[in-house]
Amino acid sequence: MIRVNDFVIDVSEYQNACNTFMMHAQRSEMSENEKNAIVQQLIGAKLLLEESKKAGVEVTEGEVEELVAQVKSQFPDGDAAFESAIASIGDTLDSFKAKLKDDVGMQKFLDQEFYSKIDISAEDAKDFYSKNPQMFESSAKVQASHILVKEEAEAVDLQKQLAAGADFAKLAEEKSLCPSGKSSGGDLGLFQKGQMVPEFDEAVFSMAVGEVSEPVKTQFGYHLISLTDKQESSNYSFDEVQNDLVKYLNQQEAEKRIATFVQGLMDQAKIVVDESLM
């Protein structure tokens, strides 16, 4: 159990938070640091909830019901599936609604006290853009098609057919083991370095547009690669990123102020943590 001023975080709430973390991380265990981070997050949330109640933030029943309806809509099998899901995390419908009400109240408080009070100017955004050019680079990309076969001899034979004028897309459709052969004549679309296996990557990014490679061996077999387009790395202009950048900087500034605010609340709060949780 964790006591935060007049609030209590029970073992089930802590365990549910840990289970959610492990589910998203696709793991079955947590480190001590991760467990401590969960505890700090839960404490911070309780302190913010306490502040929202002190500030008199109101949440209507209609707002809660609207959120419940949104969650229910994600369960096409109906109310039974929804109720089973919330039961699996230790909630009844009433306790689930109570948590939603707290969450909405806390978000309203954050919007009112932090997000609404931050207004990053275009000048500030331009300054950030100028000082952080690496954040606005567009990586080099290529578009290629390939034919994948199991044996090198078959790849060599297909290479000869291509050199004699055979149609790449038609051969890919007839011979390639990759699903892209049947669906798109071997076309893999645009991709950047690191998206393909290393041997394929090395070959395709060293090619010229219009070139067909020698057979390239990977763990999947032998590839013949046709490079159809190449886009060099470049920088997005400020005009292209301005709107998203302003939103990003507003978010970053809000999170920084909230973290400082929560730390101040923690420093003043009466917090007791059951060490057996850790």
Per-residue pLDDT of the chain (278 residues; tens, 9 = 90+): 898 998 888 888 888 888 889 988 888 899 999 999 999 999 999 999 999 999 999 999 999 999 999 999 999 887 889 989 888 877 899 999 999 999 999 999 999 999 999 999 999 999 999 999 999 998 899 999 999 999 999 999 999 999 999 999 999 999 999 999 999 999 999 999 999 999 999 999 999 999 999 999 999 999 999 999 999 888 999 999 999 999 999 999 999 999 999 999 999 999 998 877 66
CATH topology of domain 2-119+243-277: Triger factor/SurA peptide-binding fold (1.10.4030)
Q: Tally the C-alpha atoms within 13 A of residue 86's C-alpha that lie toward its C-beta.
A: 19
DSSP, residue by residue, 71-110? HHTT-TT-HHHHHHHHHHTT--HHHHHHHHHHHHHHHHHH
DSSP 6: T
Q: How far is Cα 261 from Cα 140, in angstroms, rounded to an integer?
A: 42
User: How buried is 222 (Cβ within 10 angstroms: 0-12 exposed, 13-18 middle, 19+ buried)?
Assistant: buried
Q: How far is Cα 4 from Cα 269, in angstroms, rounded to an integer?
A: 7
Sorted by where each begins, the domain ranges of the chain are 2-119+243-277, 141-231
C-alpha distances in angstroms, 192 versus 70, 145, 183, 231, 239?
Answer: 37, 14, 21, 9, 24
- Find out whether 2 and 274 touch, Cβ atoms under 8 Å: yes
Class of domain 141-231: alpha beta
Q: How far is Cα 224 from Cα 166, in angstroms, rounded to an integer?
A: 13
Angle among Cα 268, 271, 275 to the nearest 5 degrees reads 145
